[in-house]
Each structure stands twice: as structure tokens, then as C-alpha cells.
Amino acid sequence: MLSVQDLVKNFGGLRAIDHCTFDVQRGTITGLIGPNGAGKTTLFNIITGFISPDAGRVRFKGDDITNLPAHRIFDKKLCRTFQIPREHPSMTVIENLMLVASEQSGERIWNAWLRPGHVRRQEDETRKRAIEVLDFIELDHLRDEYAGKLSGGQKKLLELGRTLMAEPEMVLLDEPGAGVNRTLMKRLVGNIEYLCRERGIIFLLIEHDMDLVMRLCDPVIVMSEGRKLMQGTPDEVRSDKRVLDAYLGGQYAAAEG
């Protein structure tokens, strides 16, 4: 589904991505782990068109998307979330969702004058879909609340809801568990598992919560100093001495011993 091929990215004298290569298969929830500074978010920014690589290629569904602008990649149904949610705080929760829907005829001012009935029907359909998404992520009771007033965990759920409005085929999640309490985290994990299993959405997620990664993701990709250190099942990652020493700090060493 997604193929990262020999990517390189330098920032001045710092090599953030160093000949990184891996594939993400259909039907998977793939974890991407590594210490701070390993290049994980930079990699996401390259894949989704926010920055360009110095070398290498990115392919999505077989198409070369390297250097395409972010909105073109979004239109190809490859979407992402961010470490810090980027909601529109002065808009309501439901307005944040409705804004994402593509090809809205009301965005062209002449349609509002010449085809008001069509614009109204399309907006009604978009609102209906937004309500369905809000019901799925269990934020329907907050539909008319300003998004800026949501808790950190609720904003993470809203971010997921906004990607669903784009009807994605693949979603890149940047630390979905950061700042989220256990109750909301359980809901978010359940949503991800359901969307992968029932709707066929592929997920690639960055996460520092190793318990979450080991429970949710298979396979897991480990990055170090801008390159792939290894890729394997959660059990393989748990038992790899390089991973235990460098990233997990012996967290699973006792269990393995």
C-alpha cells in the first residue's frame, strides 16, 4: 500500500532521514517506534507532502507521490493526524468535520447564487455524514461545542473523526496516545481496530507508549538515527536485544528472562 524507498533528508549538517526503506501492507496497523530524534515525524512529513526529501521515493498504491503537495496527497486518500491536534478552535465540533468534506459546491460563490438548492442538499448530506462520524467516535453530545474547549483526548478523537470525513484508505497517526487518559485511549484504540478490520483502512502510527504499540500493532518498525533498525512482530521486537537496550530500557527484559 505504501512504499518508502531509500529516503534521505538533511537539515543543514544534520541528517534526519538516512536511507530509510520499508513497506506498509494492506490490512495492517503498523507501529513506528524509536527514540526522540529518530526521524519519525520527519518521515511522516515527507510521506504526506509537507516537506520534500533530498533523495529517495515514496509510492502509494503503486503511484509515485514523492514531492506532490500535501493537498494532492490528501486527495489520494492518504491522510494524517498531528502530535498536537490542529482543530479550528473557534468553530464547533460538527463544523470542524463538515469543513473536511471535499468538492463542496458551496465553496464556489456563484453556486450559492445560481444553485442554492443543490448547495443546500449537499450541505445536508455532509452534515448527516458528520453526525454519523460523531456518533462513531462518541462525541455526538459535543457537536455544538467549540472545538477549542475540548479536552486533549477529545481533540485526538476529533482528529480521527476529521480524517474519516475524507474517507481515507490509509491514515498516519502521530502519537495518538499522547496526553490521552486511559478511558479515551481505550475508545480510540477500539475505533482504530474496528476501522482496520471492518472498513479496510490501513494505519501507520508513531507512538511512545510501548504497551499500546505491542497490543495494537503488527508489524512494528523500529527507527534509529534516521534509518530502519528492524521490522517484525511485537514478539520479535520484544526479544530483539538492540530494541530492548536502546528503546525499551529493559521494560520487557524480566518477562523475556
Q: Which helix (H) or strand (E) holds 177?
A: none
Helices (H) and strands (E) in the chain, counts: 11, 10
Q: Which amino acid is at 99?
A: L
Kindly state whether residue 232 falls inside one of the protein's structural domains.
Answer: yes
Kindly state whether residue 40 falls inside one of the protein's structural domains.
Answer: yes
Residues 171 and 247 in one domain: yes
Last residue within a domain, chosen from 118, 149, 180: 149
Kindly state whether residue 50 falls inside one of the protein's structural domains.
Answer: yes
Residue given cell 514523492 in the structure block: 66
- Using pLDDT thresholds of 50, 70 and 90, give the confidence band for residue 208: confident
pLDDT digits (tens, 9 = 90+) for 111-160: 655 666 655 776 888 889 899 999 988 899 999 999 999 988 889 889 88
Q: For residue 256, what pLDDT is reported? A: 40
- Average pLDDT rounded to a whole number, residues 214-226: 90
Structure pTM? 0.83
Q: For residue 257, what pLDDT is reported? A: 36
| CB neighbourhood size of 178 (10 A) | 17
pLDDT digits (tens, 9 = 90+) for 82-118: 877 888 999 999 999 988 876 655 555 656 556 666 5
- Average pLDDT rounded to a whole number, residues 219-228: 90
C-alpha cell at 90: 473557534
Q: How many domains does the chain have?
A: 2
C-alpha cell at 1: 500500500
Q: Which helix (H) or strand (E) holds 103?
A: none
What CATH number is attached to the domain comprising 16?
3.40.50.300
Q: Which domain holds residue 102?
A: 89-149
Q: For residue 254, what pLDDT is reported? A: 39
Residues 142 and 188 in one domain: no
pLDDT digits (tens, 9 = 90+) for 1-26: 999 999 999 998 899 999 999 999 99
Q: For residue 24, what pLDDT is reported? A: 95
Last residue within a domain, chosen from 100, 117, 149: 149
Kindly state whether residue 128 falls inside one of the protein's structural domains.
Answer: yes
pLDDT digits (tens, 9 = 90+) for 153-165: 889 889 889 999 9
Residues 64 and 126 in one domain: no
Look at residue 219 and give its three-state secondary structure.
Answer: coil
Residues 64 and 178 in one domain: yes
Q: Determine which of 43-52, 70-79, 97-106, 241-250 has the lowest per-residue pLDDT on average.
A: 241-250
| CB neighbourhood size of 242 (10 A) | 12
The candidate with the shortest Cα–Cα distance to 77, out of 189, 155, 1, is 1
Q: Which amino acid is at 68?
A: L
Q: For residue 255, what pLDDT is reported? A: 40
Q: For residue 97, what pLDDT is reported? A: 92
- Using pLDDT thresholds of 50, 70 and 90, give the confidence band for residue 181: confident
Residue 62, pLDDT > 80, answer: yes
> Who has greater pLDDT, 59 or 98?
59
